[in-house]
Amino acid sequence: MTSQRIGTMAIVVAFIAAACGGGGDGVAPEVALEARWQCDVQRQTFDDLGALDAELNVRLANSGLTRVDYDAFKEELGASAELRNQVADEYETYCLS
C-alpha cells in the first residue's frame, strides 16, 4: 500500500512538473530541478530514504538528467556562489510566489 501511494505521488508530481514546464527563461535544467526539489521535498513525507531517492530519480528522468549529471551539478553548486544564487532565485520564483 505504501509503495502504491509513493508511486501514485511520483506520477502526480511528474504530471505537475510537466504541466509547469521547465524553469524560467534562461534557467539551466539542473538549476530548475534543484530549486523545485528543495521546495517540494519540504512539503512531502517519505517512508524512508529509498522513497526519497526514488522521487528524485523520477524528477531527474523527467528533466532529462542522470544521477551522474545531478551529482556533478551538486559538486559544482558547492563551489559556485553564482550557481547558488541562481538556485536561490529560481527557488524564490517557484516556491515563494
DSSP conformation letters of 16-58 = HHHHH-SSSTT--HHHHHHHHHHHHHTT---SSHHHHHHHHHH
What pLDDT band is residue 25 in, cutting at 50, 70 and 90? Answer: low
Supply the pTM of this predicted model: 0.71
Domain count, the chain: 1
**Helix and strand tally (H, E) in the chain?**
5, 0
- Asked if residue 62 lies in contact with residue 14, where contact means CB atoms within 8 angstroms, the answer is yes
Range of the domain at 84: 2-95
Angle at 42 between CA 40 and CA 43, to 5 degrees: 70
pLDDT score, position 2: 53
User: What is the pLDDT at residue 26?
Assistant: 84
- Encode pLDDT of 35-84 as tens digits: 999 999 999 999 999 999 999 999 999 999 999 999 999 999 999 999 99
